[in-house]
Structure 1
Amino acid sequence: MDMISVEPRCSVIIDNDWAGDPDGLVALAHHALSPANRIVAVTSSLTNPMFGPPEGKAEAGARLAGKLLGVMKVKVPGGVHAGPDTGFTGTPRSNPAAHAIVDAAAGEGLPLVLVCAGPLTNVADALLLEPAVASALTLAWVGGAAGEEEEYNQYTDAAAADFVLGNPELAVWQFPAETYRQLAAPVTELDLAFREGGPAGAWLWEHFNSLEVPDFVKFGPLWRLGDSAPLIVTGLDGAGSAYEESGSRRRTYTSVDSRLIVADFVAKLRLQQYT
């Protein structure tokens, strides 16, 4: 029995600190399983020092993302590329991740969304290398917070965040901490989904269970999947979400349907066995 046909509605570049919190890899798998979007490039950014010395982490993250896509037999036209292990400097620097973003922005027909669920380092470097990138895509960023709170993705590279968000030509759909923290799944549901999810589920299960985390991180009955928040607009038509607009090019999402996103991921993971 063939799958119900879904037409692609956008292309996506996926940028994340893949060597950090593993919810990014869940989001990558979810995007790869979603026919409504088409992955055209994957880029890997630096991690926060809380995950250990950052040297080599961007490259390690690129290897993790590449392994997952390989297990899923997903080919990405623009490949998987690592950025630098240091924050944004404000001066042009040539790196594979920034060039991959520039190249993807130059060659797309479908609306292009750059989904970043980590620091904005690679995005900032790409905009500095080629300013025309700003008008060629929409940035869906998981990061920032209201008030004075320090948020992980923003403070990991605050200079990059200031540069990117200060670009008036760039359309931004922001999923701040108050919104992305709404997205959680019971650990039991994830465990079962991974066990029944074929090769990709088995790979994710192994990665979660062998994860090295700082001593202060204690696992509870829920796992936050904040990096999956943009799936509501890339893979799911925006259903069950709400946002506030600031001008014509900026949205701040205030709510996402956590159940819709998690249920969609679990179903797509299990359906792999029929494809």
Structure 2
Amino acid sequence: MDMIRVEPRCRVLIDNDWAGDPDGLVALAHHAMSPSNTIVGVTSSLTNPMFGPPAGMAQKGANLAGELLRVLKSPEPAVAHPGSDSPFTGQPRDTPAARAIAATAAAGGVLPLVLVCAGPLTNVADALLLDPAVASSLTLAWVGGAAANGEEYNYFTDPAAADFVLGNQELSVWQFPAETYRQVVAPVAELDHAFRNSGAAGAWLWELFNSLDVPDFVKFGPLWCLGDSAPLVVTGLDDATSTFTETRNHPSRRTYTSVDTRLIMADFLAKLRLQQ
């Protein structure tokens, strides 16, 4: 039986450091399984040096994202585009990722375009330098930064890129800061059970989570943060049960202060089971 019909509400261009924390790939799978959004592009960014030497990591991440989409039998996109392995320089860089973002923004479409970035903003900054018109063609949903001035991974992996992107006055930004995205957690036991019992996609994710190469100081606990899934409330789902503050309407500047974790996780786990 087919899933109950859901109409698409937006196009999504998804950028992440796919070779870093695996919660990004969970979020990619969730988007790919969501009929209410259409993936029109995937780009891969640099990783923090804590995950090892940066050289080649953007391409490694692109390979992982592409492999997952193939396992999910997602019709589009065919490939993920890598960005630079080095932080934003302030000088134009014609990377495959920057070109893909600029081309997708320029192509237009009936549905609104949301650029979901749940990693450093390097590729977004490069795309804005390559084609400033990108800013008025999409809304950026960014998982990063912190409402309080504390250390946050996605911001501090490339602070120059974040400052450049967030300083663009033509760009609509919906931000999910650390205080918000860290609310999206799941018990490891629930994830383990779901992955083991959800077909090829679940098996792929289970293997990924069980073969992570992480620094010695990283110790796993009974909960896993799936913060990169927070933007699903504005793409594949709805933010009716989430809260945000808004400082501007045109272009929109929102900071999400809460997201409905139960909604996100229940939807993801149900869609994963439906993949069997």
What CA deviation, in whole Å up to 9, does each residue of 1:36-68 have, x standing for no partner? 000000000000011111111000000000110
What CA deviation, in whole Å up to 9, does each residue of 1:239-260 have, x standing for no partner? 3210000111100000001111
Listed as ranges, the matches of 1:106-255 within 5 Å are: 106-109=106-109, 110-248=111-249, 249-255=252-258
What is the distance in 1 between the residues matched to 2:207 and 2:230? 23
**How far 1:196 sits from its partner (Å)?**
1.4
**How far 1:76 sits from its partner (Å)?**
2.1
What is the distance in 2 between the residues matched to 1:240 and 1:182? 14
**How far 1:161 sits from its partner (Å)?**
0.2
User: What is the identity percentage for the equivalent residue pairs of Structure 1 and Structure 2?
Assistant: 75
Name the counterpart of 1:15.
15
* SS of structure 2 residue aligned to 1:247: strand
What is the distance in 1 between the residues matched to 2:115 and 2:165? 12
Name the counterpart of 2:263.
260
Total equivalences in the alignment: 273
What CA deviation, in whole Å up to 9, does each residue of 1:224-247 have, x standing for no partner? 000000001101121321000011
Q: Normalization by structure 2: what TM-score?
A: 0.97
Q: Kindly indicate whether the alpha-carbon contact (under 8 Å) linking 2:141 and 2:174 is maintained by their aligned counterparts in 1.
A: yes
Question: Which AA in structure 2 matches 1:41?
Answer: G
User: Which structure 2 segments of 5+ residues have no match?
Assistant: none
Q: Kindly indicate whether the alpha-carbon contact (under 8 Å) linking 1:17 and 1:45 is maintained by their aligned counterparts in 2.
A: yes
* SS of structure 1 residue aligned to 2:115: strand
Q: Kindly indicate whether the alpha-carbon contact (under 8 Å) linking 1:78 and 1:104 is maintained by their aligned counterparts in 2.
A: no
**How far 1:207 sits from its partner (Å)?**
0.5
**How far 1:150 sits from its partner (Å)?**
1.4
What is the distance in 1 between the residues matched to 2:179 and 2:33? 27
User: Which structure 1 segments of 5+ residues have no match?
Assistant: none
RMSD value over aligned CA atoms? 0.9
What CA deviation, in whole Å up to 9, does each residue of 1:178-203 have, x standing for no partner? 00000000001101110111101000
Q: Kindly indicate whether the alpha-carbon contact (under 8 Å) linking 1:35 and 1:235 is maintained by their aligned counterparts in 2.
A: yes
